[in-house]
Amino acid sequence: MPIRPENLHRYPRDWNEISARIRFERAGGRCECTGQCGLTHPGGRCPAVHEQIHPDTGSVVGLTTAHLNHTPEDVREENLLAACQLCHLRIDHGHHRVTRSLTLAARATAAGQLELLPATALVRTEPPTPPRSRPVRTYAAVLLQLSFPDLDQEAS
Ligand SMILES: [Zn+2]
Ligand SMILES: [Zn+2]
């Protein structure tokens, strides 16, 4: 995860050394996430290994060091976690907010702004359903039928 320029001063001078020690000495080059990102990893720990193909994303893993409490100054061992890009992104943004952005995308689609959506947002994850009586089936309709577990809980 690139460090934002405006936050650079918040990292200790020896951050590169600290980060390397966490990622390679402590973690052995493998993502240390055991669910902190909100995902359930098969086997308990994320399988992503530095500079190898990520089994979930298919892209090369660049291991990073995440701050679990989102505070760059806090470099205590227990606050640091070697994390692949996917886990780090989810740790930083919180899986609730990732879900929220999907919802916003669905609302944008409903409002007729389909062209603003990234292609990945259009992946349909529900199992195939039998044809319905409604003749027109738009992307917006498909998106709105996706289930958002977090939101379903909020709604009830
Ligand atoms: Zn990971
Ligand atoms: Zn994870």
Q: What is the pLDDT of residues 140-149, one digit of tens each?
A: 544 555 555 5
Ligand nearest to the CA of 63: 1
CB 106 within 8 A of CB 143: yes
User: Does residue 85 carry a pLDDT above 80?
Assistant: yes
Structure-model confidence comparison of residues 7 and 19, the more confident one: 19
User: Does residue 54 carry a pLDDT above 70?
Assistant: yes
pTM, two decimals, is: 0.61
Ligand nearest to the CA of 83: 1
pLDDT tens, residue by residue, 106-140: 666 666 655 554 544 445 455 555 555 555 555 55
Q: How far, in Å, from the CA of 102 to the mean position of ligand 1?
A: 21
Among residues 148, 150, 96, the alpha carbon closest in space to that of 121 is found at: 148
Q: How far, in Å, from the CA of 32 to the mean position of ligand 2?
A: 8
Q: How far, in Å, from the CA of 40 to the mean position of ligand 1?
A: 10
Return contacts of 123-127, CB within 8 angstroms, 24+ apart: none
Residue spans of beta strands (DSSP E) within 45-135: 64-67, 80-83
At a CB cut-off of 8 Å and minimum separation 6, what does 154 contact?
none
Residues at Cβ < 5 Å from ligand 1 ion: 31, 33, 46, 48, 84, 87
Ligand nearest to the CA of 82: 1
Cα–Cα distance, 104 to 111 (Å, whole number): 10
Q: How far, in Å, from the CA of 103 to the mean position of ligand 1?
A: 24
